[in-house]
Structures are given as structure tokens and as C-alpha cells.
Amino acid sequence: QVQLVESGGGLVRPGGSLRLSCVASGLSFSIYHMGWYRQAPGKERELVATIAWRGTTNYADFVKGRFTISRDKAKNTVYLQMNSLKPEDTAGYYCNAKHPVSSADFWGQGTQVTASS
């Protein structure tokens, strides 16, 4: 069974930092594209960052220069380092795994990030 389990969310002051983790199991992690998405109440889910199986990364414009996505294939884990957090970053953050051939994808349960004073 495929499982994606996110952790690392929490409450921080604007300008603070968090590192999110997503541990994958039940899939061939090294060949999947991975990504982070977020969804705030009343809004659509939006892409934050992706990392392809060979390591290439892409970021939404609103996080460039602040967030960094990375992966550790030995640990089956993808990370999202979040710096200079803003109130508008407040959302549930979800881990995604997508097969590069079949496009089958999987989602984690999410972890809440709140940047508030």
C-alpha cells in the first residue's frame, strides 16, 4: 500500500522557518516525481514546488527565493525548507508522488502551516 506521511508543520511568526518532511512507502521512490502543494480554506489547491526523479526542481513564483525542495532517496523522504514565512503561506501542505510514465499519483494527509503573529 502506498503511503505518504507529512510532518513538520506548526505555528510560526511571520519571517520564521519550518522544514516539512514527507516519508514515502509502498512505491519505488527513486523513480517518482515528487511535489508539495498547499490549500488554504476557501481556496483551490496550488502547486508549491516539484522535484523530478533526476533532481530537477521547479517552484511557484510566490515561493522562489524562500522555499527549497529536496529529496533523500536513501530515506524515501522529500523535504520542503520554508524560510521567510508570510501570513499568506498559511495553508495545509500536501505531499504528492507522480509516476513519470503512467501519471498515477498519490497524496499524503497534509500538515498544517500557520504563519501568524
Interval 19-78: pLDDT, tens: 999 999 999 888 899 999 999 999 999 999 999 988 999 999 999 999 999 999 999 999
Q: pLDDT at residue 111 above 90?
A: yes
- What pLDDT sits at residue 109? 97
pLDDT > 90? residue 110: yes
Closest CA to 110 of 98, 94, 89, 97: 94
